[in-house]
Structure 1
Amino acid sequence: MSHTPLPPAGTITDVAGIEVGHFSDTRRPTGCTVILAREGAVGGVDVRGAAPGTRETDLLAPGNLVERVHGVMLAGGSAWGLAAADGAVRWLEEHGVGMDVRYGTLPIMPAAVLFDLPMGDPRIRPDATAGYAACEAASRQPPAEGNVGAGSGALVGKLFGIDRAMKGGVGTGSVTVAGVTMGALIVCNALGDVIDPDTGRVVAGARTADGRALLDTRRALLRGDLPQPLLAGTNTTLGVVATDAVLTKVQANRLAMVAHDGLARSINPVHTMSDGDTLFALATCRAPSTGATPGMTVLSAMAAEVVARATLRAVRAAESLTIGSLHAPAARDFARPPP
């Protein structure tokens, strides 16, 4: 079924020095998404979910040695999917990208994964070959959204059972203020519902028992509806916020922290014991030197805004998917007609 594409809202590749590539596996809905910064970017990270699967996040702490990273890998496949970062490291080394460690050029590629194993054969998950292919596909072009890359098998709204969930995916967006650009790419596989922060309306999430309407998880929990027993770590929203602003490592970590405000505006409940919510921040430091540069307060507001927008686009761009007996409708299937 063909659908009208979403109106443009900017992309993370609007940030100078950022490229994005997807690998989507044709054997089952899974894949990986790489965000590259070939010239290096000051990096930060903030993990709010209680069940994360990550690689090389400790080196991003402000007190640790490495200042710049060369990209971030986001992948499906749960912890097995972390292998996709190996392929990205190999690709970057072959292209002469990395940190000079005298004995070689060492690419720094932090990574985080989400759980998409219910969608098809769980033995199929992103590996080093997939990560390499994502890098081969990377470009400055606006990246595809919806059922692609790390969002291929993403679902949202699983608190009352996976059979009542809906399709998640990949979304992106950007804003520019005072000559500085802030972009985000989000892969939404949340336990909770996705909310339109401008209206407060649930856009995608848990459905009613008959599957024909949105339940509204927040209200259901508050009136006493009991969720299904949960397998730990089976949900996660991952993302990268990137800016061309000149930031220190301390500031990049702060930006990753406040970017989670965007998740709190667009997902409910968020940061649960069964989510591994992780956001990275990249500063390419390539903003034009002329003109005023907004301070951290403005940059923080920009980061939260683009994360909220990208999260919303992740479900609005998604398309329904049926794997065996599991049917995951998309937000567009529940869209209300205009008044």
Structure 2
Amino acid sequence: MLVAIGACYLDTILTTPYYPGEDEKLRATNVTRRRGGNCPNTLEVLQQLTSHESTDEELPLALITILPAKSSITSQQIRSAFRSRVNLDHCIYRDGFEEPASCYIIKSKSTGSRTIVNYNDLPEMSLEEFTGIANELGPKATWVHFEGRTPEMTLQFVRYLRKQFPSIQVSVEIEKPGRPGLQELAEEADVVFYAKTWAQNLGYRTAEECLREQSTRTHEASLLCCTWGQDGACALERGTEDFKHVAAYTTENFQVVDPIGAGDTFIAGMLYALNCKRKDWDLSKRLAFANRVAGMKVSQEGFKGLDRALLSFG
């Protein structure tokens, strides 16, 4: 079972001709509301990809997240947004809270950029809550992926897994620029996904520079990955020092339509490759596939139909 742990949001996305200035009034050309959050987005894509696997290779999926009261309308909406392939039995519900974590996104058509404002009043997961769930899941969980939230607490989660369930593979997403504790968290993981924004904030000029330097710090890791927007993505296997780079995915008449969740989709593609194609695909194919799925995501609204990447991937 692959378990993803991170915040689940309700996204409101406003598409505008350009980004408005302060105190400016501007009419949006489109509004979209959908379930969001890094780990839920990753699982949304993973459930599509794994549905193509045979029974022997099937990878069960689970989400652990904090939600408002179980009786709240928003919690019911979030649960119904996932198909039965994602197990939500271990989510934590906060009684007395009705509002979910919310994300408001302004997407500029003129530049393709997006500005994000988050709101989340739900109390974070405690160590006691996590250990209870981890003990209940036990050896059924073969892989646990963490969003890089509350790094100090997440670091305790990872260390608990290391001690009690050492066979579990742990991956982490390192994304938020300037968030204290992310470096220490990366140094405890088996697989690390770095975002361009985090890397640039530390002064790295390229994805390769980031991975080469980080490989001297992340002694537990077997694989480091870094996405770099229009400059594609890179991966580095520690131990062998095998380094791969792939250019940004593109096709004839390719257009950037919706970049929201591209990084989450890349992670989904790589987790799929590592868990379901580990015997068949080498590092080059794993990276190329993750990059392809992410590129396809950028060229469409939302996450539907991304499993078609498997049909066109040779």
Higher helix share: 2
Normalising by structure 2, we get a TM-score of: 0.29
Normalising by structure 1, we get a TM-score of: 0.27
